[in-house]
Structure 1
Amino acid sequence: MTPTATPTGAYPAWKAGTAYTPGVRVTHAGVGYECRQAHTAVAGWEPPNVPALWLRLP
């Protein structure tokens, strides 16, 4: 299952083991992030830890 951005602005929580594609938005620790590169998330690759994969949203 590939997550997609939710138009209401509420994004699903980031989850290890999930395949993400560019443009998908998630929430981690109360902050929104947008995927920059396709990847499958693993523990340790949380959005704030890997800015090459995730763009923090304003």
Structure 2
Amino acid sequence: VANFTGTPSPSPTITPTPTSSPTSPPASPWKAGTYYRVGDLVTYNGSTYRCLAAHTAYPGWEPPNYDFLWARV
């Protein structure tokens, strides 16, 4: 027979750790004349790219042509 003195302490609450990262904002189609910020996502020819350097896009500056501006994700 157990003899308890005082108030029993509550059981610890277990909080599950999320297994997925927050959802990234949706990518929009790449478009010349658009100002892109670092981290912006675009789609071009069915692929998604992340902007590596802030810039205004010009015709011919499509993501696959400039790997210093865009990284395929």
TM-score range, shorter chain: 0.7 to 0.9
CA RMSD across the alignment: 1.1
> Gaps (5+ residues) in structure 2?
1-23
Amino acid of the structure 2 residue aligned with 1:49: N
> With CA pairs under 8 Å and 6+ residues apart, which has the higher RCO, 1 or 2?
1
Q: Show the counterpart of 2:62.
A: 46
Aligned equivalent of 2:39, options 20, 23, 31? 23
Q: Show the counterpart of 2:52.
A: 36
Secondary structure at the aligned position of 1:33 is classed as: strand
Alignment deviations for residues 7-48 of structure 1 (CA, whole Å, 9 cap, x no partner): xxx410000000001000000000000000000000000000
TM-score under structure 1 length normalisation: 0.81
- Segments of 4+ moved more than 6 angstroms: none
Identity %: 50
Q: Distance in 2 between matches of 1:11 and 1:56?
A: 12
- Which of 1 and 2 has greater Rg? 2
